[in-house]
């Protein structure tokens, strides 16, 4: 069950990686903004611009638009990074400003892309390792270990991982791709 949950999590992480990479690349030639204008003309917006996703909050009476939801796509022209008071590795921050009454946080698109790529990489390495064990191969050099009674691979010298419960005691068990043990047919 844990393997299925991790596989599901890895698929979701892969989707986060793909979406954040696509939006990050797109943000260099088109700036997208999703904004909510309140009754008091304050704005709360998500803005993608030059590889950074901004969460922007303006003070009251700062927006010329009427209240409601707005979705805009325009060429990238405004460099919001010039307005930030703090900048580190693409992360940007601006606290309250008495002149513009604007606060924002900027998260570079590379950050969710890297976080989204970790789980699929771990899933792939685990899957390859389990497959090599199930096929009777060394996990590091792919040397055929069927019939080998040593505890180390004769080719590379690495310790041979044995599946739990399938020791050389004649139980007739094998490890499937999901890590479960199955009985071998006679």
Q: In the prediction, which pLDDT does 171 show?
A: 43
Q: Say if 72 falls within a structural domain.
A: yes
The mean pLDDT of 64-68, rounded to a whole number, is: 79
Q: Is the pLDDT of residue 20 over 90?
A: yes
Range(s) of the domain holding residue 139: 123-183
Q: What is the pLDDT of residues 125-147, one digit of tens each?
A: 888 888 888 888 888 898 888 88
Q: Which of 108, 134, 156 is the last residue of a domain?
A: 108
> Burial code of 87-119, b = ≥16 C-beta within 10 A, e = fewer?
eeeeebebeeeeeeebebbbebbebbbeebbeb
Same domain, yes or no: 99 and 139: no
Chain CA centroid to CA 114, Å: 6
Q: Say if 115 falls within a structural domain.
A: no
Longest dimension (CA), the chain: 82
Sheet holding 43-49, edge to edge: 68-74, 31-37, 43-49, 52-58, 102-108, 91-94, 86-88
Q: Which of 108, 141, 173 is the last residue of a domain?
A: 108
Q: In the prediction, which pLDDT does 65 show?
A: 74
Q: Is the pLDDT of residue 181 over 70?
A: no
Beta bridge partners of 106: 54, 92
Q: State the Cα–Cα distance between residues 140 and 133, nearest whole angstrom.
A: 10
Number of domains in the chain: 2
Q: Say if 44 falls within a structural domain.
A: yes
pTM over 0.75: no
Same domain, yes or no: 42 and 80: yes
């Amino acid at each position: 069950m844990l393997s299925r949950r991790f596989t599901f999590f890895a698929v979701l992480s892969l989707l986060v990686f793909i979406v954040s990479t696509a939006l990050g690349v797109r943000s260099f030639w088109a700036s997208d903004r999703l904004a909510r204008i309140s009754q008091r003309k304050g704005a709360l917006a998500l803005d993608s611009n030059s590889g950074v996703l901004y969460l922007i909050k303006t003070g009251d009476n700062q927006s010329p638009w009427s209240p409601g939801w707005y979705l805009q796509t325009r060429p990238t022209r405004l460099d919001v990074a010039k307005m930030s008071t703090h900048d580190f590795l693409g992360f940007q921050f601006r606290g309250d400003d008495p002149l513009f009454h604007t606060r924002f946080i900027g998260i570079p698109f590379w950050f969710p892309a890297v976080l989204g790529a970790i789980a699929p990489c771990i899933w792939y390495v685990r899957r390859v390792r389990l497959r090599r064990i199930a096929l009777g191969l060394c996990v590091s050099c792919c040397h055929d270990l069927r019939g080998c009674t040593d505890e180390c691979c004769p080719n590379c010298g690495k310790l041979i991982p044995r599946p739990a419960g399938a020791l050389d005691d004649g139980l007739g068990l094998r490890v499937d791709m999901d890590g479960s043990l199955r009985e071998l047919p006679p």
